[in-house]
Amino acid sequence: MQFNQVRWRLAIAGILGAEASLIAMAFGWVAIYSYFVNPGQQFAVYDRFAQATVPYIGLLLSVPVFFFTCRWIGLRAPSSAGGTALAVFGLYCLIDIPLTLTSSSPIVTPWFMAIDLSLKLLTCLGGAMSARKPA
């Protein structure tokens, strides 16, 4: 893979779409909890719930989001699917690692981050590989 073979527009569109959908799903998760499961509480209750559960929800929901994002990229640009999927993962790291380092969440430990980043890397590559046509 060469640096000039990466489809940067697709990579940027992919990471922006993936991040936007993960953020929307996290807000939706907390909204479902606050309106249907435990309504009428103070804001602090929902804030603690969000801090305790959103990292796990983000970890679980990022698998299909990143898989289908990189599959979409692979279907649009099959010749550079692997490199562009790696670029999506690299852009994710550029966004997420600084945010995680400044986070005060006790859930997000180095082990959690190692699992999260490994899973996203494998998911990105899996999505790009799934778009290949059989030989």
Q: For residue 70, tell me if it sits in a domain.
A: yes
Count of alpha carbons within 13 Å of 105, Cβ hemisphere only?
A: 20
- Cβ-based burial of 94 (10 A; exposed 0-12, middle 13-18, buried ≥19): exposed
Nearest alpha-carbon partner for 123 in 37, 58, 53, 79: 58
132, 78 contact by CB (below 8 A)? yes
pLDDT digits (tens, 9 = 90+) for 13-55: 999 999 999 999 999 999 999 999 989 899 899 998 988 888 8
Domain-embedded: residue 46: yes
Whether 96 maps to a domain, the answer reads yes
Tell me if 84 is assigned to some domain: yes
Residue 88 lies in a domain: yes
Distance CA 68, CA 37 (A): 30
> How many domains does the chain divide into?
1
Which whole-number Å values give the CA distances from 99 to 33, 82, 92, 93, 103, in the listed order? 25, 26, 11, 10, 6
pLDDT > 70 fraction of the chain, expressed in percent and rounded: 96
In a domain, 119, yes or no: yes
Whether 73 and 126 have beta carbons less than 8 Å apart is answered as no
**Does residue 135 belong to any structural domain of this protein?**
no
Q: What secondary structure letter does DSSP report for 103?
A: -
| 42 part of a folded domain | yes
pTM: 0.88
The residue segments making up the domain with residue 29 are 3-130
